[in-house]
Structure formats: C-alpha cells, structure tokens
Structure 1
Amino acid sequence: MTLKKTSLDKDKLNQIVTDARRNQEIREQSYRGQALKLYPWICGRCTREFTHTNLTELTVHHKNHNHDDNPADGSNWELLCLYCHDNEHSRYEETRFGNLQSSNRASVSMGSHNPFADLKNLMGSKK
C-alpha cells in the first residue's frame, strides 16, 4: 500500500513541476515576462531593487496607458513597483478628469466656512 502511495505522490509531484514549467513559459511570452528579461529589476521611479523573492511587487507600466500597445522592443513599457505604478495611474486620472472637475467648480459655489479663521487669536492666547 505504501508503494502505491509513493508512486502516486511522485506522479502528482511530476505533474506539478510540469505545470509550473509550462506556466512559466507562458508568462515569459507575455509582455511582463518580456519586460523582465529586457530591463533590470529596478523600479523606474523610486529605484527600489527587486529579487526573485519580491518580484511580484514589480509591475509593467504602459507609458502611453494603452495596454494593447506591446511592441517587442519594450519601448512602451517601464518597470514600476506597486506603489509607484499606483501613483502614476492616480496622476494620470487626475490629469484626465481634473480638467473636467475644475470646469465644474466654477458653477458650484464654494463653502464659506474657514476652520482656521480664528487661529491667530487662539494661538496668541496660549502665550
């Protein structure tokens, strides 16, 4: 009975290794895999360095924000850490939609409350 169990464990392990290798080949063909081969594993903004242990935190950013534009030379990619990548997309969204919001601000009345209006007097009384 232990002989059957051992051979089943080996078969299962072999299947896991085979699947892992196939998945790695598929990932390497993706633009992320290509970018990781082309560029050093360093964030293009904060210059944080990455190793195999934290490589999942390094992402591929599309410079023109078009995820379908994936030239083989990598000219539309840059490697960014999760934090810098999120920041880049936030800035992009602010640029895209900030203009719409600023034009809408003119039609919306601003609040008149100033929480710091009496701050000078309050600070003066603490002396």
Structure 2
Amino acid sequence: MAGNNSGPRKPFGQLDSKKLDDVVAKAHKQRDTRMAGYREQSLKLHPWVCGRCGRAFTRENLHELTVHHKDHNHDNNPADGSNWENLCLYCHDNEHQRFAYLVRGEGFMPEADKKKPATHNPFAGLKEKLKNR
C-alpha cells in the first residue's frame, strides 16, 4: 500500500551533525535564559506552595503558580528572592486587586489596616448623667 505512514519515519540522507549541534546549543541557551528569569529563580529558592492559601503544586500544575513582587516593583529582583513570594493564580489576582483598591484610596492592605485610636467615646459624660438620676 503506497503512502503508508505507520511507524517511525526513516531519515532521508545523512544527518547534518552541525545542524543538530546548533539546535542543541540553541536549546541550552534558551534554557539558560529562562532560568535567569526571576520566576525560575523563585521556583528554585521557594517551595512550590502558595504563600497565602497553602496550596501545593507539582510539575503538572506548576504553571498555575506565579511569582509576586512584594513591593509591586517588577524591576526589584534581588538574587536572594526577598522581594518574591510564590502565589497561586487566585491569590495573586486577589493581591493585585487589593493593591489597586489601595492605590485608588478605596481598599485595604495589612499595613493600612493597623488599628487607629478611637476618636469617639460613647460613654463620655455617662458618670455625670448617672449622678443626676
């Protein structure tokens, strides 16, 4: 039967070892470039666990784990990873939503949620009112 495509293809002619070496070298260079990125560095430094919800990740779902810049400055990438935290997609989106609300003056952040002293005292003058009873 002509044109049967079952089974592995057989190479046509001689393999070009220079071309193969170039492909392998290019693949290694691309891998090294990727590994130099902050996401890959963070995945090496930090556990594959969301820093907020605690969800654990494996190679199969690692694409759902993102790297968050704690100070929201994507140019601040110290080699020790101190400005990064691994967050799942959901927690990362939530963090950026909270930050956007804070920037617009509508939201909350842990730093902004610190308790402020009360300015109203509902029991002011109560002692005097009880005396007059």
SS at match of 2:78: coil
* Larger fraction in helix: 1
Q: CA deviation at 1:85?
A: 0.3
User: Which runs of 5 or more structure 2 residues have no equivalent in the other structure?
Assistant: 1-9, 107-133
CA-to-aligned-CA distance 1:25-54 (integer Å, 9 cap, x gap)? 211111111111100000001111111111
In 2, the alpha carbon distance for the partners of 1:5 and 1:55 equals 41
Q: Per the alignment, in what secondary structure is the counterpart of residue 12 of structure 2?
A: helix
Cα RMSD after superposing both structures = 2.5
Match of 2:70 among 55, 63, 67: 63
The one-letter code of the counterpart of 1:59 is: T
- Which structure would you say has the larger RCO, counting Cα contacts within 8 Å and 6 or more residues apart? 1
Structure 1 residue 20: Cα displacement: 4.0
**C-alpha separation in 2, matches of 1:48 and 1:56:** 13
In the aligned structure 1, how far is the partner of 2:96 from the partner of 2:14? 51
Equivalenced residue count is: 96
Distance (Å, rounded) in 2 between the aligned partners of 1:42 and 1:6: 48
Structure 1 ranges of 4+ moved more than 3 A: 5-8, 17-21
TM (normalized to structure 1)? 0.64
Larger radius of gyration: 2
User: Structure 1 pair 26/57, CA: closer, same or farther in 2 (3 Å)?
Assistant: same
State the secondary structure of the residue aligned to 1:4: coil
The equivalent position to 1:40 in structure 2, one of 28, 44, 47, is 47
Normalising by the residue count of structure 2, what TM-score does the alignment of the two structures yield? 0.62
Query: Offset at 1:6?
Result: 8.2
Q: What SS class does the counterpart of residue 47 from structure 2 fall into?
A: coil
Q: CA deviation at 1:22?
A: 2.8
Mark the CA change 1:51 to 1:6 in structure 2 (over 3 Å): closer, same or farther: farther
The whole-number CA distance in structure 2 between the counterparts of 1:96 and 1:46 is 24
Residues 1-127 of structure 1 aligned to structure 2 (within 5 Å): 2-4=10-12, 7=15, 15=23, 18-99=25-106
Percent of pairs with identical residues: 55
